[in-house]
A and B are shown apart, each in its own frame.
Chain A
């Protein structure tokens, strides 16, 4: 029968081994040949867009890369779905955007800010998502 000492060894040993494998896989995922996160194409505008994305908690309603809240549409591949003009209008409008009655806060971004957010969405669109893009992109949907 298992003793307490053996049980402790199982816990500590298992934990150390899995953590080491986990860290190893993390390093592997972001190593140059394996990296698929579109890192090299991050521009200053993308970074500014990401900051705006965070400072306004867009993830509190929308999802991006499938992450966030489920109150407003997924924004991965949004440029493909809506086009830049539509997105800019939503971001810059001084009154609440109300598609089908569900309101979005009127952020009233400047044109520069809207362009930074669009650059951020554009950058997201080129990340390799292991097939998730086929689920959220209309162009890929047609191929299904």
Chain B
């Protein structure tokens, strides 16, 4: 840590941790309901648990990205944040909007549109919050001593993410159009601009951890985000195959979706090669685990498992089944959750001055959570494939099929328990680092 204002990142990360834990709890409620144990139905019906689970994911990841930006931008721009006070205002308002939305979901206060359930009045608060955040980041960058590619790519990702929130607020009478433009937000976020954010964070971490020349890392960063957009933008078409729009999307979506894994492969190769090339042996091995892990697991989860069902011929049968949940879980984990955990693992010792990166607990957290989520992905995959065959090929009734696949949710719950234990260990590690201190700044200055 070189600048005092970077400390604000800690509180965004702390909020992330809290919401992440809660997200997993709601995941368990859904897992149990699928396995046939829906004892909480009267208090938290499935649609409430589902909205809370996915929205908490979005909010904790955004909070993590914002924390990452508050940590990275001052260091890249070589100056303090323009206003720490306003950053705290932004943090508190983010937490308030998030909590109000989540509580509202328990009282039928929502807009039932998958991933964008936040009701319209709260949408305006989200916009105000994000504008404040962007204002702080952009002004800091503008007034900074230098503008690096890493900072620009990260900021560009954040600005585009904000802009792309807007199509989701357009009102439509047609369910088809509603769905069409909802993907402008959801797909172009996760398979587009969020990857700029991921790329920016990844590049920052690789520069710090491997010691490879910034120019080399940033050149490849451009290539990777270029590949991402080249494939990802028109790859949106894979959501348009069977929702009531023109057949042209079958061709466009099919071709460009098939290219999407290449962008993720490039990202994985890039990270591994930079690590091999690096002369510097940074002592924070945990951060390196999470960084390389993010690049590799995102290739498997987002790239390969995405491709497993984006060909139109396959998607005709898998569209709207648990196969999507299989891909969704490993993709979000690899691409976004792991990169947020990576930047936390890297920055926390620097913010708090406590260098706990040799701990067995940290390594256990990494392996348990990863093995757990891979098991969960397999369980979802088996349930999904069985569902596709029984329901869509053998024409069995929906609920008869659900009874057949209940057992896979028992497996899912067991694997999710392992995953959760890993995350709890990560949280304990986070807690043990203690609060941010200015002494950490002095220590960094003398290094």
Contacts and interface: CB of A to CB of B under 8 A. Distances in A.
Interface in A33-60: 34-39, 42, 46-47, 50, 53-60
Interface string A5-44: 0011011001100110110011011100011111100100
Given A11-B225, A50-B173, A135-B317, A65 B244 contact: yes
A91 to B, nearest CB: 15
Nearest to B160: A15
Of the listed residues B38, B45, B244, the one surrounded by the most CB atoms of chain A closer than 10 A to its CB is B244
Contacts of B226: 7, 10-11, 14-15
A10 B41 contact: no
Interface string A62-102: 01111111111110000000000000000000001001111
Interface residues of A, number: 69
B222 A11 contact: yes
A128 interface: yes
A45 to B, nearest CB: 12
B114 A68 contact: yes
Identify the interface centre among B114, B215, B321: most chain A CB within 10 Å of its CB.
B114
A14 B230 contact: yes
A35 B322 CA distance: 30
Interface centre among A7, A8, A57, A127 (most CB of B within 10 A): A57
Interface residues of B, number: 72
B285 interface: no
A35 B30 CA distance: 37
Contacts, number: 197
A56 B114 CA distance: 12
A67 B244 contact: no
A53 to B, nearest CB: 7
Contacts of A60: 46-48, 50-51, 112, 117
Interface string B93-133: 00000000000010010111110010000000000000000
Interface of A: 2-4, 7-8, 10-11, 14-15, 18-19, 21-22, 25-26, 28-30, 34-39, 42, 46-47, 50, 53-61, 63-74, 96, 99-103, 105, 120, 123-124, 127-132, 135-136, 138, 141
14 contacts: A2-B223, A11-B223, A15-B230, A29-B180, A55-B112, A57-B105, A57-B112, A59-B114, A60-B112, A69-B47, A70-B324, A103-B41, A128-B244, A135-B392
